């Protein structure tokens, strides 16, 4: 079981397109869009997070968020070509698949922070930017913040 991204209910989850966005929602919230498939729940956390959040110990109302540079695709490709490497060679050097490098350079996939850090280190470029954000006083359920907490559903 997992939590619905709209209402937060712990239930079977369905990958659903709602207003052009893929969301993982419960059976009740599938009425807002078109179901693509039923999700299989994994025990391990997803590796597709695009930002790491770090809450500062000295100030719990401020968190640091690591953001990926929106120009990551052109930066990676340009530097790889400057070094005279093929995609497969770069992939081997940073222990990733060639398809990962291809998808990053074409802009189809945004790198997670771990892959971005490997690319930064090997290529000598800057892809990750840290920003400090002040937390707002939203009331959050114990299961976490959902889209339904932020918007009103008609």
With respect to residue 100, please indicate whether it lies within any of the assigned structural domains: yes
Count the domains in the chain.
2
Mean pLDDT of 114-138: 84
Residue 26 and residue 73 share a domain: no
Which tokens belong to 35?
């179901």
Q: Give the per-residue pLDDT at 120.
A: 93
Considering the entire predicted model, what is its pTM?
A: 0.50
- pLDDT tens digits, 11-69: 888 889 888 888 888 889 989 999 888 875 544 443 333 445 555 456 666 777 888 99
Domain that holds residue 13: 2-44
Which whole-number Å values give the CA distances from 80 to 84, 102, 119, in the listed order? Answer: 6, 12, 10
DSSP code, position 20: T
Residue 115 and residue 68 share a domain: yes
With respect to residue 52, please indicate whether it lies within any of the assigned structural domains: no
Mean pLDDT of 79-95: 94
* The pairing of beta strand 62-68 with beta strand 10-11: unpaired
């Amino acid at each position: 079981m997992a939590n619905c991204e709209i209402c937060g209910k712990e239930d079977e989850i369905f990958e659903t397109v709602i207003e052009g966005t893929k969301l993982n929602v419960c059976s009740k919230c599938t009425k807002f869009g078109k179901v693509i498939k039923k999700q299989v729940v994994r025990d391990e956390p997803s590796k597709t997070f695009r930002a790491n959040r770090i809450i500062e110990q000295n100030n719990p109302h401020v968190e640091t968020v690591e953001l990926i540079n929106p120009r990551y695709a052109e930066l990676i490709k340009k530097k790889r070509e400057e070094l005279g490497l093929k995609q497969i060679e770069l992939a081997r050097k940073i222990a990733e698949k060639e398809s990962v490098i291809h998808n990053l350079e074409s802009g189809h996939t945004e790198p997670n922070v771990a892959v971005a850090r490997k690319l930064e280190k090997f290529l000598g470029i800057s892809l990750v930017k840290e920003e400090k954000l002040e937390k707002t006083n939203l009331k959050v359920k114990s299961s976490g913040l959902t889209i339904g907490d932020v918007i009103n559903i008609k």
